[in-house]
Amino acid sequence: MLTTIFFFAVLTVGWTRMREPSVHYAVCNLRPSSVLPNNITGTIYFRQTHGARKRKDRYMQVQVDVDNVSLLDNTNKHGFHVHEFGDTSAGCPSMGPHYNPRGTLHGDIMNQPTDRHVGDWGNLQQDPVSGKIKVYFVDYLTKLHGPESILGRGVVLHAGQDDLGVNKTDPGSTSTGNSGARLACCVIARSAPIPDDKFMP
């Protein structure tokens, strides 16, 4: 009897440990495009809890801090996406198309999974005076773990505003949102734990 109780106690402890949430962190250090020279710098911070009990606690948190975005590009909104490759050998163009493992059309970050790319993050809005972008958001679809992890992939900040794929008869809209040239990019890398104060919801 005591042996049986001990066995179940060990089993319960082991199962509990297996189910404990794990937190994943990553960073991405933006650099200007070599094809479209500019002075953009910035860092993107990522945090995601794998195995959290509440669904909303499993969503990936993203903090974007960018400086020196041009005030002369006729828009203060810029398309922002995860791209297929973490390749910078020929600058930002080497990062390829949007990360789209499910083969869906381009869309808004708030769309259903069948109506957006995994890497679709919509637009970031810059401050019209300082040229800074400081934005916090969460994404229910993108992940730092599992078969669709974005680790090692690229992030691109575009010169133009993403039209969010609204024009279904326009191939540019349904593939890139007609976001224009690539202003800056970076490669997503796993990191040590990031302090809570880096994330500003």
Give me the active site residues, please: 81, 83, 98, 106, 117, 120, 158, 182
Query: Where is 14: in which H helix or E strand?
Result: helix 2-18
Phi, psi (deg, nearest 5) at residue 7: -60, -45
Please list, in sequence order, all residues whose beta carbon lies within 8 angstroms of the beta carbon of residue 72, skipping any fewer than 6 positions away: none
CA 75 – CA 179 distance, rounded (Å)? 11
Question: Per 3-state DSSP, what percentage of the chain is helix, strand, and coil (rounded to 5)?
Answer: 20, 35, 50
Antiparallel, parallel or unpaired: β 182-187 and 120-125: unpaired
Strands annotated E in the chain: 22-32, 41-50, 60-67, 77-83, 120-125, 133-139, 154-158, 182-187, 189-190
* Residue 193, CB-side half-sphere exposure with 13 Å CA sphere: 6
First-to-final CA distance of the chain: 53
